[in-house]
A = this chain, B = another copy of it.
């Protein structure tokens, strides 16, 4: 199983294969982080809430149980005030 670690371990994830393709479950600890996508991503927040800045959009707060979609080949910014858990699908 692949274990990913970003930003000095402040964001980590575990990879799995689902009927919807590759996905990761992960944890984001408090802080602000910029990510780049190489595929379209659907990020479901499973615990906590996450502030998200998608390209050309205002900041939004995504609550537990909600999700957001990020286009391919863009960068986006997330901000966590407490630990956040997510499940991310790659398309």
A residues lining the B interface (CB < 8 Å):
1, 3, 9-10, 12-19, 23, 25-27, 29, 44, 46-48, 82-85, 87
Residues of B within 8 A of A48 (CB): 16, 18-19
Residues of B within 8 A of A13 (CB): 14
Residues of B within 8 A of A10 (CB): 1
Decide yes or no: A85 and B47 within 8 Å by CB, A1-B29, A10-B1, A25-B27 being known contacts. no
Within the complex, the shortest CB–CB distance from A36 to chain B, in Å, comes to 21
Docked Cα-Cα span, A66 to B25, in Å, equals 17
State which of B18, B19, B85 has its C-beta within 8 Å of the C-beta of A25.
B85
Residues of B within 8 A of A29 (CB): 1, 16
